[in-house]
Amino acid sequence: MSSILSNVLPAPEDPVLSVIFACRDDPCPVKLNLSAGAYRTEEGKPLVLEVVRKAEQQLANDLSCDKGYLPIDGLADFNKLSAKLILGDDSHAVEENRVVTIQCLSGTGSLRVGAEFLAKHHQQRVVFVPNPTWGNHPFIFTLAGLSVEYFRYYDPQTRGLDFEGMLKDLGAAPPGAIVVLQSCAHNPTGIDPTLEQWEKIRQIVRSKGLLPFFDNAYQGFASGNLDSDAQSVRMFVADGGECLIAQSFAKNMGLYGERIGALTIVCTSQDVARKIHSQVLLVVRPMYLSPPIHGASIVTTILKNSDMYKDWTIELKGMADRIISMRQQLYEAIQARGTPGDWSHIIKQIGMFSFTGLNEKQVRWMAKEYHIYITYDGRISIASLSSKTVPQLADAIHAAVTRLA
């Protein structure tokens, strides 16, 4: 029988997925996967927060809970609480009813819905993303039919922020262009602007009439403080202008597999918000119709209960602190080995990733010789390290740098 689909070509190799698959297929018992953005315990296991288990038990005991469809825009309480979490308790935008929040499929789904909405209703078709940025950003916006361009962000010479280059590129962007900004714990570099730099970025964005789209994947997971990690977003919202925010609860609540997130659009008026809400529903309806209920119920249960919320913040701080500790241990281990170069960027960066400065040749060699898998751009997941694996990684880095300079 002839195949109707025989003309389908194989997809080009994905640089991130290829590393994940190579690690999966490696039979070595001491292999180490530092490519995926997922938190692991000191024992190398996925962590289910105690407050999440408590919330799930409460939901299981509540016989009034059912498994019916949620509305297209999701669980109402979840949307209200998610907006409050990122915008703050005293947000004027929330008080003035000019905020639209839609439950989506984690951060990726929130970006996807936002991209589709902008492709249909925003006249400017170009999206500027940081160079480098999360590998999925270009795919998401390109698939929606938007044109992706880059603004300078990382300076390989200093292994820090190319702030002047960033401002110049944003200043040269066409009016109305969409600008993707990561609110904290930049992926993949781990480099964030200071608050003073954020203010200058805000001024450029507003003076040029650009539309900011925040990717808020790590709130509370960077510094350990939910409010501190939201300051960049709140700075933009406070000036009364428009912005979009994609939220994820994958990292900060450990709900990776629940696919729970939200898209929030801050508008200039309540009337504009009503119109946008109606149009976003038309984006969601043919895409997946109704979001999943379980993850939204977990998040809502935790955010509504003051005791659970407090417990969550304590566990969240514990995760952030352990990541900071892993940074310090890795830096000290590299220093102890006398590895050539300045490695202080490891402890200066923030969040779950570190942009090491290792090149692709060194990365591939480490996979072959040490069975350590990181992405080809040299990004490692600090959140996947432990005190037991830090020496293993430090040995590999030392060998790679000294042998393949």
Cα-based angle 69, 71, 76 (whole degrees, multiple of 5): 115
Q: Is 365 a catalytic residue?
A: no
DSSP assignment, residue 352?
Answer: S
- Give residue 209's identity as a one-letter amino acid code: G
Q: Is 251 a catalytic residue?
A: yes
The catalytic position among 162, 192, 229, 251 is 251
* Residue 33: strand pairing partners: 373
Specify whether the CB–CB gap between 376 and 36 falls below 8 A.
no
Q: Is 311 a catalytic residue?
A: no
Cα–Cα distance, 323 to 255 (Å, whole number): 18
DSSP, collapsed to helix, strand or coil, labels residue 103 as: strand
The catalytic position among 162, 192, 215, 311 is 215
Specify whether the CB–CB gap between 32 and 371 falls below 8 A.
yes
Q: Taking Cα atoms as reference points, which of 388, 392, 343, 350 lies closest to residue 370? A: 392
The catalytic position among 54, 73, 134, 311 is 134
Contacts made by residues 121-125, CB under 8 angstroms, sequence distance 24+: 121/279, 122/176, 122/178, 122/211, 123/176, 124/174, 124/175, 124/176, 124/177, 124/178, 124/211
- Annotated active-site positions, please? 134, 215, 251
